[in-house]
Amino acid sequence: MGFRANIVESEFPIPPFKKGVRGISSPKGIGILWLLIVTSFFSCPAFSSETQLPDNLSRLLGALEKQQDWRLDGSPQHAKSDGLFVLINGGAEIYLEYGFEQAVLANFKHQNGEALILEIYRMKDQHAAYGVYTFKTDKQAKPLAIGGQAKLSDYYLNLWQGSYVITLTAPTPGKTSQATLITAAKILSRAIEKKGEEPDLVRRFRRATAALAPPAEIKYVRGNLALSAHPTAIKNLIPIGEGVAADYETSQVYLLQFKNTAESLERYNRLRKAVRKERGPTSLRTAKKHFSFLSDENRFVLVRRKAQYLIVLQTGEAHRNSTRFTALRQAIESFR
Protein backbone atom coordinates (compact mmCIF):
# COMPACT_ATOMS: atom_id res chain seq x y z
CA MET A 1 0.00 0.00 0.00
CA GLY A 2 2.75 2.47 0.93
CA PHE A 3 4.55 2.01 -2.37
CA ARG A 4 1.49 2.53 -4.54
CA ALA A 5 0.19 5.41 -2.45
CA ASN A 6 3.33 7.44 -3.04
CA ILE A 7 3.55 6.98 -6.79
CA VAL A 8 3.12 10.30 -8.59
CA GLU A 9 1.04 10.23 -11.75
CA SER A 10 2.95 12.09 -14.44
CA GLU A 11 1.23 14.91 -16.32
CA PHE A 12 3.39 14.40 -19.38
CA PRO A 13 1.53 13.80 -22.67
CA ILE A 14 3.37 10.56 -23.43
CA PRO A 15 1.96 7.10 -22.74
CA PRO A 16 2.29 6.28 -19.02
CA PHE A 17 3.27 2.88 -17.72
CA LYS A 18 0.29 0.56 -17.64
CA LYS A 19 -0.70 -1.45 -14.64
CA GLY A 20 -0.14 -4.64 -16.58
CA VAL A 21 2.38 -5.75 -19.16
CA ARG A 22 1.68 -7.34 -22.53
CA GLY A 23 1.59 -11.10 -22.18
CA ILE A 24 0.78 -11.02 -18.47
CA SER A 25 -2.98 -10.85 -18.22
CA SER A 26 -3.88 -12.74 -15.06
CA PRO A 27 -4.15 -10.90 -11.72
CA LYS A 28 -1.69 -13.37 -10.21
CA GLY A 29 0.84 -12.74 -12.98
CA ILE A 30 0.53 -8.99 -12.58
CA GLY A 31 0.94 -9.28 -8.81
CA ILE A 32 4.11 -11.32 -9.16
CA LEU A 33 5.51 -8.87 -11.70
CA TRP A 34 4.91 -5.88 -9.42
CA LEU A 35 6.48 -7.73 -6.50
CA LEU A 36 9.62 -8.32 -8.55
CA ILE A 37 9.75 -4.69 -9.71
CA VAL A 38 9.22 -3.28 -6.23
CA THR A 39 11.74 -5.67 -4.67
CA SER A 40 14.44 -4.91 -7.22
CA PHE A 41 14.07 -1.12 -6.99
CA PHE A 42 13.83 -0.90 -3.23
CA SER A 43 17.02 -2.94 -2.97
CA CYS A 44 18.68 -0.55 -5.43
CA PRO A 45 20.52 2.58 -4.20
CA ALA A 46 18.86 4.59 -7.00
CA PHE A 47 15.62 4.71 -4.96
CA SER A 48 15.20 5.27 -1.24
CA SER A 49 12.36 5.99 1.15
CA GLU A 50 14.81 6.84 3.94
CA THR A 51 14.77 10.31 5.47
CA GLN A 52 18.51 10.91 4.87
CA LEU A 53 18.62 13.19 1.83
CA PRO A 54 21.34 15.13 -0.02
CA ASP A 55 21.90 18.56 1.54
CA ASN A 56 20.45 20.53 -1.39
CA LEU A 57 17.16 18.61 -1.39
CA SER A 58 16.99 18.47 2.40
CA ARG A 59 17.40 22.24 2.56
CA LEU A 60 14.42 22.79 0.24
CA LEU A 61 12.21 20.42 2.19
CA GLY A 62 13.30 22.16 5.36
CA ALA A 63 12.31 25.56 3.98
CA LEU A 64 8.68 24.47 3.98
CA GLU A 65 8.87 22.27 7.06
CA LYS A 66 10.23 25.17 9.15
CA GLN A 67 7.04 27.11 8.59
CA GLN A 68 4.89 26.88 11.72
CA ASP A 69 1.75 26.01 9.77
CA TRP A 70 3.22 23.06 7.85
CA ARG A 71 4.39 19.60 8.86
CA LEU A 72 5.88 16.71 6.91
CA ASP A 73 3.41 13.85 6.51
CA GLY A 74 5.37 10.59 6.35
CA SER A 75 8.90 10.00 5.08
CA PRO A 76 10.10 11.68 1.88
CA GLN A 77 11.12 9.46 -1.03
CA HIS A 78 14.36 10.07 -2.88
CA ALA A 79 15.47 8.89 -6.31
CA LYS A 80 18.49 9.33 -8.51
CA SER A 81 19.31 8.01 -11.96
CA ASP A 82 16.81 5.37 -13.16
CA GLY A 83 15.29 5.10 -9.68
CA LEU A 84 13.00 7.84 -11.01
CA PHE A 85 11.00 5.10 -12.77
CA VAL A 86 9.77 4.00 -9.35
CA LEU A 87 9.13 7.47 -7.97
CA ILE A 88 6.82 8.63 -10.78
CA ASN A 89 4.33 6.60 -12.79
CA GLY A 90 5.23 7.44 -16.39
CA GLY A 91 7.36 10.22 -17.87
CA ALA A 92 10.72 9.37 -16.27
CA GLU A 93 12.25 8.99 -19.73
CA ILE A 94 11.72 12.69 -20.43
CA TYR A 95 13.61 13.80 -17.32
CA LEU A 96 16.48 11.47 -18.22
CA GLU A 97 16.58 12.79 -21.80
CA TYR A 98 16.93 16.37 -20.57
CA GLY A 99 19.51 15.44 -17.93
CA PHE A 100 18.21 14.24 -14.57
CA GLU A 101 20.22 14.01 -11.33
CA GLN A 102 18.00 13.56 -8.28
CA ALA A 103 14.45 14.00 -7.04
CA VAL A 104 12.52 13.95 -3.81
CA LEU A 105 8.80 13.46 -3.20
CA ALA A 106 7.17 14.51 0.07
CA ASN A 107 3.67 14.98 1.45
CA PHE A 108 2.86 17.99 3.64
CA LYS A 109 -0.13 18.88 5.77
CA HIS A 110 -1.20 22.33 6.88
CA GLN A 111 -2.70 23.01 10.30
CA ASN A 112 -5.92 24.16 8.61
CA GLY A 113 -6.37 20.70 7.06
CA GLU A 114 -5.02 21.48 3.61
CA ALA A 115 -2.44 19.13 2.09
CA LEU A 116 -0.01 19.15 -0.81
CA ILE A 117 2.39 16.87 -2.62
CA LEU A 118 5.82 18.38 -3.20
CA GLU A 119 8.02 17.11 -6.05
CA ILE A 120 11.53 18.54 -6.41
CA TYR A 121 13.66 17.58 -9.42
CA ARG A 122 17.33 18.51 -9.49
CA MET A 123 18.53 18.53 -13.11
CA LYS A 124 22.10 18.55 -14.46
CA ASP A 125 21.96 22.25 -15.34
CA GLN A 126 19.57 25.19 -15.45
CA HIS A 127 18.72 24.65 -19.11
CA ALA A 128 17.79 21.02 -18.53
CA ALA A 129 15.49 22.22 -15.74
CA TYR A 130 14.02 24.92 -17.98
CA GLY A 131 13.34 22.34 -20.69
CA VAL A 132 11.47 20.02 -18.33
CA TYR A 133 9.51 22.99 -17.00
CA THR A 134 8.41 24.02 -20.51
CA PHE A 135 7.50 20.42 -21.26
CA LYS A 136 5.36 20.09 -18.12
CA THR A 137 3.47 23.36 -18.52
CA ASP A 138 0.87 24.34 -21.09
CA LYS A 139 -0.51 27.52 -22.62
CA GLN A 140 -3.73 27.34 -20.57
CA ALA A 141 -1.82 27.70 -17.28
CA LYS A 142 -1.55 31.11 -15.60
CA PRO A 143 1.96 32.64 -15.51
CA LEU A 144 3.17 33.76 -12.07
CA ALA A 145 6.01 36.09 -11.08
CA ILE A 146 7.79 33.52 -8.90
CA GLY A 147 11.36 32.29 -9.32
CA GLY A 148 12.68 31.94 -12.86
CA GLN A 149 9.22 31.14 -14.22
CA ALA A 150 6.09 29.61 -12.74
CA LYS A 151 2.64 28.59 -13.96
CA LEU A 152 -0.52 27.77 -12.06
CA SER A 153 -3.19 25.32 -13.23
CA ASP A 154 -6.37 24.25 -11.46
CA TYR A 155 -4.83 22.08 -8.75
CA TYR A 156 -1.07 22.18 -9.33
CA LEU A 157 1.74 24.68 -9.76
CA ASN A 158 5.04 24.26 -11.64
CA LEU A 159 8.10 26.32 -10.78
CA TRP A 160 11.46 26.57 -12.55
CA GLN A 161 14.42 28.15 -10.79
CA GLY A 162 18.08 27.46 -11.45
CA SER A 163 18.64 23.72 -11.81
CA TYR A 164 15.36 22.85 -10.08
CA VAL A 165 11.89 22.03 -11.33
CA ILE A 166 9.30 21.97 -8.57
CA THR A 167 5.72 20.77 -8.76
CA LEU A 168 3.19 21.44 -6.00
CA THR A 169 -0.02 19.45 -6.27
CA ALA A 170 -3.24 19.41 -4.29
CA PRO A 171 -3.83 15.67 -3.69
CA THR A 172 -7.59 16.28 -3.55
CA PRO A 173 -8.56 19.08 -5.98
CA GLY A 174 -10.75 21.66 -4.30
CA LYS A 175 -9.50 20.95 -0.77
CA THR A 176 -6.22 22.85 -1.10
CA SER A 177 -6.52 26.44 -2.33
CA GLN A 178 -4.48 27.93 -5.14
CA ALA A 179 -3.36 30.61 -2.69
CA THR A 180 -1.78 27.87 -0.56
CA LEU A 181 0.11 26.48 -3.57
CA ILE A 182 1.36 29.98 -4.43
CA THR A 183 2.49 30.67 -0.86
CA ALA A 184 4.39 27.37 -0.71
CA ALA A 185 6.03 28.10 -4.09
CA LYS A 186 7.25 31.49 -2.85
CA ILE A 187 8.76 29.89 0.27
CA LEU A 188 10.62 27.33 -1.85
CA SER A 189 11.75 29.95 -4.36
CA ARG A 190 13.38 32.03 -1.62
CA ALA A 191 15.42 28.96 -0.62
CA ILE A 192 17.03 28.71 -4.10
CA GLU A 193 19.86 31.15 -4.70
CA LYS A 194 19.80 31.63 -8.47
CA LYS A 195 16.80 32.29 -10.71
CA GLY A 196 18.51 30.98 -13.85
CA GLU A 197 18.21 32.15 -17.43
CA GLU A 198 16.68 30.67 -20.56
CA PRO A 199 18.93 28.75 -22.98
CA ASP A 200 20.76 30.89 -25.53
CA LEU A 201 18.83 29.24 -28.38
CA VAL A 202 15.51 30.27 -26.82
CA ARG A 203 16.67 33.85 -26.20
CA ARG A 204 17.88 34.22 -29.79
CA PHE A 205 14.61 32.78 -31.07
CA ARG A 206 12.69 35.37 -29.05
CA ARG A 207 14.85 38.16 -30.51
CA ALA A 208 14.33 36.95 -34.09
CA THR A 209 10.55 36.88 -33.68
CA ALA A 210 10.19 39.92 -31.39
CA ALA A 211 8.31 41.95 -34.03
CA LEU A 212 5.58 39.31 -34.27
CA ALA A 213 2.74 38.57 -31.91
CA PRO A 214 4.22 36.31 -29.21
CA PRO A 215 3.63 32.57 -29.58
CA ALA A 216 1.07 30.87 -27.38
CA GLU A 217 3.92 28.84 -25.91
CA ILE A 218 7.58 28.04 -26.39
CA LYS A 219 9.10 24.70 -25.44
CA TYR A 220 12.77 23.80 -25.27
CA VAL A 221 13.63 20.26 -26.37
CA ARG A 222 16.73 18.14 -25.95
CA GLY A 223 15.88 15.03 -27.93
CA ASN A 224 13.32 13.09 -29.92
CA LEU A 225 11.18 12.10 -26.95
CA ALA A 226 10.37 15.71 -26.14
CA LEU A 227 9.87 16.57 -29.81
CA SER A 228 7.49 13.63 -30.32
CA ALA A 229 4.99 15.26 -27.96
CA HIS A 230 4.48 18.06 -30.49
CA PRO A 231 2.35 17.91 -33.65
CA THR A 232 5.30 18.01 -36.00
CA ALA A 233 5.35 16.02 -39.22
CA ILE A 234 9.07 15.22 -38.82
CA LYS A 235 9.00 13.50 -35.43
CA ASN A 236 11.32 10.50 -35.16
CA LEU A 237 12.45 10.83 -38.80
CA ILE A 238 15.90 12.12 -37.81
CA PRO A 239 17.84 12.20 -34.53
CA ILE A 240 17.85 15.64 -32.96
CA GLY A 241 19.56 17.32 -30.03
CA GLU A 242 18.72 20.85 -28.94
CA GLY A 243 15.73 22.71 -30.29
CA VAL A 244 12.87 25.16 -29.82
CA ALA A 245 9.22 24.39 -30.54
CA ALA A 246 6.90 27.41 -30.76
CA ASP A 247 3.15 27.29 -31.19
CA TYR A 248 1.47 30.21 -32.96
CA GLU A 249 -2.24 30.68 -33.65
CA THR A 250 -2.31 28.79 -36.97
CA SER A 251 1.31 27.67 -37.30
CA GLN A 252 4.16 25.87 -35.56
CA VAL A 253 7.90 26.50 -35.76
CA TYR A 254 10.64 24.02 -34.92
CA LEU A 255 14.17 25.38 -34.76
CA LEU A 256 16.70 22.55 -34.45
CA GLN A 257 20.36 23.17 -33.70
CA PHE A 258 23.14 20.74 -34.59
CA LYS A 259 26.85 20.62 -33.78
CA ASN A 260 28.00 22.13 -37.07
CA THR A 261 26.98 22.78 -40.68
CA ALA A 262 28.12 19.32 -41.78
CA GLU A 263 25.78 17.66 -39.29
CA SER A 264 22.84 19.90 -40.20
CA LEU A 265 23.39 19.09 -43.90
CA GLU A 266 23.48 15.38 -43.15
CA ARG A 267 20.22 15.64 -41.15
CA TYR A 268 18.61 17.76 -43.87
CA ASN A 269 19.43 15.19 -46.57
CA ARG A 270 18.37 12.31 -44.32
CA LEU A 271 15.06 14.00 -43.57
CA ARG A 272 14.38 14.68 -47.23
CA LYS A 273 15.05 11.02 -48.09
CA ALA A 274 12.83 9.84 -45.22
CA VAL A 275 9.93 12.03 -46.32
CA ARG A 276 10.30 10.92 -49.94
CA LYS A 277 10.36 7.27 -48.89
CA GLU A 278 7.38 7.69 -46.56
CA ARG A 279 5.22 9.85 -48.85
CA GLY A 280 6.40 9.00 -52.35
CA PRO A 281 8.76 10.77 -54.80
CA THR A 282 6.08 13.15 -56.11
CA SER A 283 5.20 14.43 -52.63
CA LEU A 284 8.19 16.79 -52.33
CA ARG A 285 8.60 20.26 -53.74
CA THR A 286 12.34 20.94 -53.70
CA ALA A 287 14.22 24.23 -54.09
CA LYS A 288 17.90 25.10 -53.63
CA LYS A 289 17.84 25.48 -49.84
CA HIS A 290 14.49 24.06 -48.78
CA PHE A 291 11.82 21.50 -49.54
CA SER A 292 8.12 21.28 -48.71
CA PHE A 293 5.33 18.72 -48.55
CA LEU A 294 1.81 18.15 -47.22
CA SER A 295 1.42 16.11 -44.05
CA ASP A 296 -1.22 13.46 -43.39
CA GLU A 297 -3.28 16.18 -41.70
CA ASN A 298 -3.08 18.27 -44.90
CA ARG A 299 -0.72 20.74 -43.29
CA PHE A 300 1.89 22.54 -45.35
CA VAL A 301 5.39 21.75 -44.07
CA LEU A 302 8.46 23.74 -45.09
CA VAL A 303 11.98 22.56 -44.16
CA ARG A 304 14.94 24.88 -44.58
CA ARG A 305 18.61 24.50 -43.64
CA LYS A 306 20.65 27.48 -42.47
CA ALA A 307 24.19 27.03 -41.18
CA GLN A 308 23.99 24.50 -38.32
CA TYR A 309 20.21 24.80 -38.04
CA LEU A 310 17.14 23.20 -39.53
CA ILE A 311 14.02 25.36 -39.60
CA VAL A 312 10.69 23.56 -39.89
CA LEU A 313 7.52 25.59 -40.34
CA GLN A 314 4.06 24.11 -40.68
CA THR A 315 0.62 25.57 -41.10
CA GLY A 316 -2.78 24.71 -42.50
CA GLU A 317 -2.89 24.46 -46.28
CA ALA A 318 -5.32 27.41 -46.33
CA HIS A 319 -2.79 29.62 -44.50
CA ARG A 320 0.40 28.87 -46.43
CA ASN A 321 0.18 32.09 -48.47
CA SER A 322 -1.23 34.24 -45.68
CA THR A 323 0.44 37.49 -44.61
CA ARG A 324 0.87 36.15 -41.09
CA PHE A 325 2.66 32.96 -42.20
CA THR A 326 4.85 34.91 -44.60
CA ALA A 327 5.90 37.27 -41.79
CA LEU A 328 6.65 34.31 -39.52
CA ARG A 329 8.71 32.66 -42.23
CA GLN A 330 10.72 35.83 -42.89
CA ALA A 331 11.34 36.39 -39.18
CA ILE A 332 12.56 32.88 -38.43
CA GLU A 333 14.68 32.72 -41.58
CA SER A 334 16.54 35.82 -40.32
CA PHE A 335 17.55 33.87 -37.21
CA ARG A 336 21.26 34.00 -36.31
pTM of the model: 0.84
- 6 and 102, same domain (yes or no): yes
Report the chain's mean pLDDT, rounded to a whole number. Answer: 85
Whether 185 and 248 share a structural domain: no
| Domain stop point among 171, 190, 209 | 190
Residues 184 and 48 in one domain: yes
Amino acid (1-letter code) at residue 76: P
**Model confidence at 218: pLDDT above 60:** yes
**Burial track 297-332 (b if 16+ CB lie within 10 A, e otherwise):** eebbbbbbbbebbbbbbbbeeebbeeeebeebbebb
Same domain assignment for residues 72 and 156: yes
Sorted by sequence, the CB contacts under 8 Å of residue 6 that are 6+ apart come out as: 49, 74, 77, 105, 107
pLDDT at residue 157 is higher than 60 = yes
Q: Are 96 and 129 members of one domain?
A: yes
- Asked if pLDDT for residue 50 goes beyond 80, the answer is no
Determine, yes or no, domain membership for 150: yes
Q: What percent of the chain has pLDDT over 90?
A: 68
Q: Are residues 204 and 89 in the same domain?
A: no
Going by the DSSP 8-state scheme, the letter that residue 281 receives in this structure is G
Domain assignment of residue 244, given as a range = 200-333
- Do 33 and 78 lie in one domain? The reply is yes
Domain count, the chain: 2
